[in-house]
Chain A
Amino acid sequence: MTSNAPALECRDVTVRYGDVTALSGVTAAFAQGLIHAVVGQNGAGKTTFARVAAGLVQPAEGEVAIHGQPIRTGQVAAARAAGVELVHQSFALPPSFTVSEAMEFGASGKGSLFSRRGLRRRWRQHLSDLQVIADPAQRIRDLPVESQQGVEIARALITQARVLILDEPTAVLTPLGIETLFARVRRLKASGVTVILILHKIREVLAIADTLSVLRAGCLVDGPRPAAAIDEAELTRLIVGAAGPAPGIQAARPEAGPASAASFSTQTPALELHALHTGADSEGPGLEGVDLRIAPGEILGIAGVEGNGQKALVRAIAGLATVQGGRILLGGQDVGRRPLGARRAAGLRIIPFERNTEGLSLSSSLWENWSAGGLLQRSLLSPVRPDRLRRDCKSALDEWNVRYHSPAQPAGSLSGGNAQKVILAREIDPGARLIIAAQPTRGLDIGATSFVWQALRAARDRGAAVLVISSDLDELFDISDRVAVMLSGRISGRFSPPYSLNAVGAAMTGAATQGEAL
């Protein structure tokens, strides 16, 4: 081992998933014995970078060297042997195992026989050395999140790891848990371990990191550079990049906009949320006191890094989350205790996050998918005429310019853009009063994207309220009459045009500058 060689070095690493380039020509060297932060927005390539370093992803091009020794890329065993361990964003330990079993499993020991007590004794020592508070006899699923993460880290350190990569370790933690984690990371640094943290919250980065590197759209835009010489504003700029809406979307913007919003604004709000609280779940934090208000004829954009409570927000409005406190009003009616069917009858429409599971049944025909919402508003035994449904579906899909052969073809045979249009055709009907559009353009090409925005604008101009959730700020700024930012289950900023990229970016990452109050 060369003493001065970087702990981890990447040269020209490029990773492609199909047509998408997740990392392009990343070259970086991380010095030994420091805490390095790799930051960036969603889809910037942070997790891919971590996986390349840990041997989970085979890069199309490029090399990885550990302590100066090139390793075979794309092989976990090679990375492990060189001392690289990765703790995943979503934990990877088997939930039904006890702590000691999981540790033994992680050690992938020789196939000898164990006694339970022997296992516990063996791992209790290891855990206490790392100051992880967890009873080796407890099951993983029964541990609090902080301890689970501690066990994950302890598992990663079984094999004398020299380079420990933590992918978004703070995403699941409370502020206190984050303090504990950071103390642990500092102790690891003191013991000579090089730690690479994948993070997106600027305050956390500046609190812990010795150096930082910024990824944007798969490219390393800066770093590693000393964290001491950078301030929040500059880092925000580096992460978010320069503003500039996509030209195709700009052109599609109608002249109406805010003026039309004004004409509806005297009416009862389409949606009001008062101090809404929900529980946290595996997909991110719950809501911790969210207040929102959308008027008919208005588009409210929800910005924020993914996993900050956006899913909980949509599920709560849909009535699919356990609401622990607060009120939900649709058109002035308190619907907090009413099921989604009743909310839909009151004009709620949802374009859900997961197009292929929540939005469509891929193995069912287009007409069945299209008519499901309407049929659910009827009695189960009400007669249907499939030929008539097929005909109605056909005229609706034609109107929405869906490219398809027959209403009887399965939804899974459509492209992503056409599948999304089927959902739009179903959800944006004359009865729609409040449309929730969750990442409505994800994975769509530019043509389909601008179609979606036009459809939502048209619905807004007809007087519907629209709540758009997107992690693409350019898109949000372009379509939204107002923008609210979510961070850790709260609204961390509210903005109206003209939007300041820096201010919104600061609210997204939790930097000191707070958004102008509305």
Chain B
Amino acid sequence: MSNEAHNKDWVSRLDGLDHAAGEAGLDKNAAWDRLHTRIQSKQRSNKALWYWAAAACVLAACLIPALLVHKQKYTGVHIAPAVTYRHLDTPATLVISKKEAPVNVMKEMNKPVAAQQEVAAILPALVHPVNPTSIAATLKKDTLQITDTMLAAVPAATAPKKMRVVHINELGEATVREVVYPEYKPFTIRVNSPAGLGDQTIANSTLNIHLSPKN
């Protein structure tokens, strides 16, 4: 507060002044109406704010559990299956040589054991993952270098060709006898045989059986 001494008479008179002379006084009713409207509108806006806040809370309370449940399901669906990598001592390689000629069915049929060995060599490579470095190394070894160009002729790594389906009659008697049907016995039907119609002779290299119909 001020230390200066004032004669407070005029100050108290000024403080108690209700209205300025020559001026219209305050229209209290109109002023009150404006003030009351302002108070009520603020209260209304505050109420509205609370209602919105409450609605937001309710919505959040409903959504959060639903989202959590959905999230659990969602994670269950999208879990990646466990992948187990098998360690191979010797990486399986697909050996492809340009020297390999197309399979000659007749020759292969004549060498059944060799064909089986080759298939056995190829099958693991098809079943198990192939080591690409070994393929590259193999291909590089067999690559034909063209010196005057930047290109290199690389034999395409082709899958083993399908074997041609051959009718058994095309194989020949010797092949059928050895490979397909070792117990093959050619037979002929003679019409003018001593036994008459139906006389059959089963030719066998080891056993020559003559069957005659029993009348």
Interaction A to B: no
